[in-house]
């Protein structure tokens, strides 16, 4: 019988990266949403968010004490409302340089890069993803983001990708505690 050690090695690699995670940062459009935005003549009306992703935010907080922070290029009242609903107290809207915000977040929360997970999907996430301890992208993230991500979800953005990453973190951290 031939034993494939590549899966075991990949899982160990993920476990090693995730064991130090104390904070999750996420982008919004393409991660928490399906990239669709509904507009009226007055501007943005609604975005679609997954209830399952919201449960992922809650489970990270309740089971592991890991908070979630939002960093997005959009300046959206919809995102403010969603953050409030999920009790995400730290969020940054209208951000052009996410790496600058990462530095602020690290200092404010007394964390290093290895303590931070980041979930992103597009070019505005590329630089920050290269500076975080663990990175993930939805299955429909851009190909150049998939190339640098530690984990590519089976789920698409807005359809449970955040929850998938949350459950991976929960599973591996609880397994390490045993």
pTM for the model: 0.92
Are 150 and 134 in contact by the 8 Å Cβ rule? The answer is yes
| pLDDT band with cut points at 50, 70 and 90 for residue 8 | low
pLDDT at 1 over 50: no
For 20-177, which CATH superfamily applies?
A: HAD superfamily/HAD-like (3.40.50.1000)
What whole-number distance in Å separates Cα of residue 178 and Cα of residue 173?
Answer: 9
What whole-number distance in Å separates Cα of residue 138 and Cα of residue 26?
Answer: 11
Q: What percentage of the chain carries pLDDT values higher than 90? A: 79
Torsion of CA 103, 96, 33, 142, to 10 degrees: -90
Mean pLDDT (the chain, rounded) = 92
Q: Is 3 exposed, middle or buried (0-12, 13-18, 19+ CB in 10 A)?
A: exposed
Q: Is 75 exposed, middle or buried (0-12, 13-18, 19+ CB in 10 A)?
A: exposed
């Amino acid at each position: 019988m031939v034993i494939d050690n590549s899966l075991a090695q990949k899982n160990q690699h993920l476990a090693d990266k995730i064991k130090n995670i104390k904070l999750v940062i996420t982008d919004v459009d393409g991660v928490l949403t399906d990239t669709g935005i509904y507009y009226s003549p007055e501007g943005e009306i609604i975005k679609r968010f997954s209830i399952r992703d919201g449960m992922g935010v809650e489970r990270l907080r309740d089971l592991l004490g890991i908070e979630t922070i939002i960093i997005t290029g959009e300046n959206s009242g919809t995102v403010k409302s969603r953050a409030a609903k999920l009790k995400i107290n730290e969020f940054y809207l209208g951000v052009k340089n996410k790496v600058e915000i990462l530095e602020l977040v690290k200092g404010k929360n007394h964390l290093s890069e290895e303590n931070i997970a980041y979930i992103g999907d597009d070019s505005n996430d590329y630089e920050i993803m290269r500076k975080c301890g663990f990175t993930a992208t939805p299955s429909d993230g851009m190909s150049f983001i998939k190339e640098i991500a530690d984990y590519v979800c089976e789920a698409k953005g807005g359809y449970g990708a955040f929850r998938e990453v949350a459950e991976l973190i929960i599973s591996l951290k609880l397994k390490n505690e045993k």
